[in-house]
């Protein structure tokens, strides 16, 4: 993709938001957030507008908004990514910011593995990954990023001032495994460890990647849930592990799914490191039984430690019948290098 060209959000389907608040993203410091706090940038959704809501500073806005600049310069905000990785695209969303959006923006990136002060961060050598680009008001402004480096921080610059509702940083998690011991058990499926649900036959009510998000689901909307099946068959999702490994313990959590949990599930594994397995070609790979068909319970954490085959695996296919929802899936195991 050409850097800086304006894309549609669908261009980044399958990638994750590295900066999202829910995965640990944090706005650290800004020149100005007089009207609306910088942390709003990383919240879910696109932001809302409440007509008659005001604060001591003025109109309440669901985003980051600086005051009108009366001196030379521009405003910026430094964000620590919740999950360091390669950035493929960004969405600078000016939703509901109409007469107060920034006309232009740019983005710089930094790789800093150690904890340093905000002042020290500002003095570091930043790299431009999105040159100054025009923004549309009240719109998603989506740009591709052509850069293969692993980044930990970004700096959003707006010219000269104004408001941005949300910032999404689409990319691929790059976990550094060097410090992980050979016998150390880790969640190979976790999104923060580079896990990714690469395919699913249905996710009508809940996105497939919700299964591997941190923590337990806060509600029924934060899991993978398929529509009600009216024909023969079953539903499935394919998880690409963050690192090839041997399974020690599996957790399948149906938290909050009471009248809509799957009746049964079974798991299969595939050893195809580096392969691009997706919805269309998954049947072309060799899948081996990990867990036989097993009854599930409503609103319950299920743990399994006995497997037909513990691996090593690079991918896991999660099958549910006939349909329903899984809030979280964990695949605890040891690395195979």
If one counts the domains in the chain, the total is: 2
Average pLDDT over residues 199-216: 95
* Residue 34 and residue 143 in one domain: yes
CATH of the domain at 226: 2.60.120.260
Per-residue 3-state assignment (H helix, E strand, C coil) for the chain: CCCCCECCHHHHCCCEECCCHHHCCEEEEECCCCCECHHHHHCCCCCCCCCCCECCCCECCCCEECCCCCCCCCEEEEEEEEEEEEEEEEEEECCCCCCCCCCEEEEEEECCCCCCCHHHHHHCCCEEEEEEEECCCCCEEEEECCCCCCEEEEEEEEECCCEECEEEEEEEECCCCCCCCCCCCEECCCHHHCCEEEEECCCCCECHHHHHCCCCCCCHHHCEECCCCCCCCCEEEEEEEEEEEEEEEEEEECCCCCCCCCCEEEEEEECCCCCCCCCCCHHHCCCEEEEEEEECCCCCEEEECCCCCCCCEEEEEEEEECCCEECEEEEEEEECC
Look up the pTM and report it. 0.89
Answer whether residue 166 is part of any domain: yes
Answer whether residue 132 is part of any domain: yes
Answer whether residue 1 is part of any domain: no
* pLDDT of 42 above 60: yes
Average pLDDT over residues 232-251: 97
Average pLDDT over residues 209-215: 95
* pLDDT of 139 above 50: yes
* Residue 231 and residue 144 in one domain: no
Domain range for 299 is 186-335
Task: Give the model's pLDDT for residue 8.
Answer: 65
Which of 173, 207, 236 is at the close of a domain?
A: 173
* Residue 131 and residue 15 in one domain: yes
* Residue 103 and residue 235 in one domain: no
Answer whether residue 80 is part of any domain: yes
Answer whether residue 286 is part of any domain: yes
Answer whether residue 179 is part of any domain: no
Answer whether residue 285 is part of any domain: yes
* Residue 130 and residue 22 in one domain: yes
Task: Give yes or no for a cis peptide into 76 (omega within 30° of 0).
Answer: no
pLDDT digits (tens, 9 = 90+) for 55-93: 999 999 899 999 999 999 999 999 999 999 999 999 999
The mean predicted confidence, pLDDT, of the chain is 94
Task: Give the model's pLDDT for residue 7.
Answer: 61
* Residue 206 and residue 147 in one domain: no
Task: Give the model's pLDDT for residue 1.
Answer: 46
Q: d(Cα 334, Cα 243) in Å, to the nearest integer?
A: 9
* Residue 15 and residue 162 in one domain: yes
Which of 173, 203, 222 is at the close of a domain?
A: 173
Answer whether residue 181 is part of any domain: no
Average pLDDT over residues 1-8: 53
Contact between 64 and 164 (Cβ < 8 Å): yes
Which of 149, 173, 197 is at the close of a domain?
A: 173
* Residue 317 and residue 219 in one domain: yes
The DSSP call for residue 260 is S
Q: What percent of the chain has pLDDT over 90?
A: 88
Task: Give the model's pLDDT for residue 61.
Answer: 87
* Residue 16 and residue 115 in one domain: yes
* Residue 204 and residue 292 in one domain: yes
* pLDDT of 179 above 90: no
* pLDDT of 6 above 60: no
**Torsions phi, psi of 92, nearest 5?**
-100, 95
* Residue 132 and residue 203 in one domain: no
Centre a 10 Å sphere on the Cβ of residue 316 and count the other Cβ atoms it contains: 26
* Residue 44 and residue 74 in one domain: yes
Task: Give the model's pLDDT for residue 337.
Answer: 85
């Amino acid at each position: 993709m050409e850097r800086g060209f304006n894309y549609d959000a669908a261009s980044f389907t399958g990638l994750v938001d590295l900066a999202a608040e829910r995965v640990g993203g944090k706005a650290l410091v800004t020149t100005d957030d007089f009207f609306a706090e910088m942390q709003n940038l990383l919240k879910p959704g696109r932001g809302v507008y409440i007509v008659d809501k005001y604060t001591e500073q003025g109109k309440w806005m669901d985003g980051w908004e600086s005051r009108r600049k009366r001196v030379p310069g521009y405003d910026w905000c430094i964000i620590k990514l919740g999950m360091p990785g390669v950035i493929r695209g960004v969405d600078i969303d000016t939703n509901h910011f109409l007469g107060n959006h920034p006309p232009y923006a740019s983005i710089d990136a930094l790789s800093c593995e150690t904890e340093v002060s905000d002042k020290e961060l500002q003095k570091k050598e930043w790299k431009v990954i999105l040159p100054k680009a025009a923004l549309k008001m009240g719109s998603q402004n989506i740009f591709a990023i052509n850069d293969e480096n692993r980044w930990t921080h970004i700096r959003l610059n707006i010219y000269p001032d104004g408001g941005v509702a949300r910032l999404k940083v689409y990319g691929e998690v790059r976990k550094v495994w060097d410090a992980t011991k050979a016998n150390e058990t880790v969640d190979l499926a976790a999104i923060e460890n580079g896990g990714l649900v690469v395919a699913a036959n249905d996710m009508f009510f809940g996105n497939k990647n919700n299964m591997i998000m941190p923590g337990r689901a806060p509600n029924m909307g934060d899991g993978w849930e398929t529509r009600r099946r009216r024909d023969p068959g079953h539903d499935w999702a394919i998880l690409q592990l963050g690192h090839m490994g041997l399974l020690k313990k599996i957790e399948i959590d149906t938290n909050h799914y009471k009248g809509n949990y799957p009746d049964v599930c079974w798991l299969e594994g595939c050893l195809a490191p580096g392969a691009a397995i997706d919805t269309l070609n998954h049947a072309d790979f060799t899948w081996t039984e990990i867990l036989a068909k097993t009854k599930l319970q409503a609103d319950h954490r299920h743990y399994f430690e006995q497997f037909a085959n513990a691996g090593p695996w690079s991918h896991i296919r999660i099958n549910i019948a006939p349909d329903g929802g899984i809030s979280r899936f964990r695949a605890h195991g040891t690395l195979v290098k």
